[in-house]
Amino acid sequence: MRVVVLSLLLLFASPVIYAQASLTITTEPNAIVWIDEIRRGATDPSGKLTLTKVSPGRHSVRVRAKGFKETTTPLLPGRRALAVKLVPTTDQAELTFQEAEAAREKARGDEALKKAADLYREAIKLRPTSPAAQIGLARVLMDLNEFKEAHAAIEAARRTRPSYAEASAIEGRLYRDEAFDDEALRSFRRALREAGGFQPEAHVGMAKVFEDKGQFAQAVAEYRAAIAQLSDSEPVIYQMLGAAYEKMQRPKEAVTAYEKYLELAPNGSYAAAIRSILEQLKREAAGEQQIIP
């Protein structure tokens, strides 16, 4: 079984990073930064963001700030600092899209989500060929359980951008929510193909499907692939990993995963619950070690 898990991990985590270094990005204040389409954070009021884990090699850096034209800049191998100059924009379609994205991120409850959906629809009217706005709309509709409309938004995005890894990952999540596990796996695998293997949202989605099927070893492999690709930027995946290990009755590994979550997110939403079960898991892990010949 261990060989199977390792093989799966190597297969799906081909971009795994072994040597990493820091990178400082300087741009507008409160700008959102993506590296290789993975959101890595936002700049501080001075316009700086320092990332402690960036793999060697060439990357793509995308930066968005309210009121400015979004830009994508190549990051060449060996660079440890990058200045990104943003140009102010009066493009109403882009400004409305930015407003929709901000509304979606802040949305709590159906009414706020519906307002975000309306903003995405307005942005799409202003620029019908915007796949990013269609995908943002699909995410909101998924949260509203409006699955048919969400699928329609994904198809609209693909008409403009046929190979779109994020669209395929969201489609997989939709199918899982609809309890179509086989279709979900096909969409997640399509996302991985379209992204050249680097699509942590798809890895997490596959992990959840495997958990639904009771295939916990495969789920663990997928969670670990996502963790490697995200460079610890999403602590919640360690919580998911720990829960999967618990279901496999592997308390030692569960403890390691949960402790990593607490290290990265000591005040996270799962922190209190994890602390309440850690001591029991440690006792179980100690007992497990004692009975191993």
Q: Are 288 and 251 in contact (CB under 8 A)?
A: yes
Residue 82 DSSP symbol: E
Share of the chain above pLDDT 90, in %: 77
Domain membership of residue 114 (yes or no) is no
Inform me whether the pLDDT recorded for 14 exceeds 60. Answer: no
Least confident range from 41-55, 130-144, 184-198: namely: 41-55
User: What's the pTM?
Assistant: 0.83
Domain membership of residue 4 (yes or no) is no
Give the Cα-Cα-Cα angle 21, 23, 26 (nearest 5 degrees): 175
Domain that holds residue 63: 19-83
Question: For position 16, what pLDDT does the model report?
Answer: 40
Inform me whether the pLDDT recorded for 151 exceeds 60. Answer: yes
What spatial distance separates the first Cα and last Cα of the chain, rounded to whole Å? Answer: 20
Region 134-150: mean pLDDT is: 97
Taking only the tens place, the pLDDT of each residue in 158-207 is: 999 999 999 999 999 999 999 999 999 999 999 999 999 999 999 999 99
pLDDT category of residue 96 using cuts at 50, 70 and 90: very high
> How many structural domains is the chain composed of?
1
Domain membership of residue 44 (yes or no) is yes
What's 44's domain CATH number? 2.60.40.10
Q: Are 219 and 211 in contact (CB under 8 A)?
A: yes
DSSP three-state, residue 150: helix
Domain membership of residue 35 (yes or no) is yes
- Which one is predicted more confidently, 43 or 292? 43
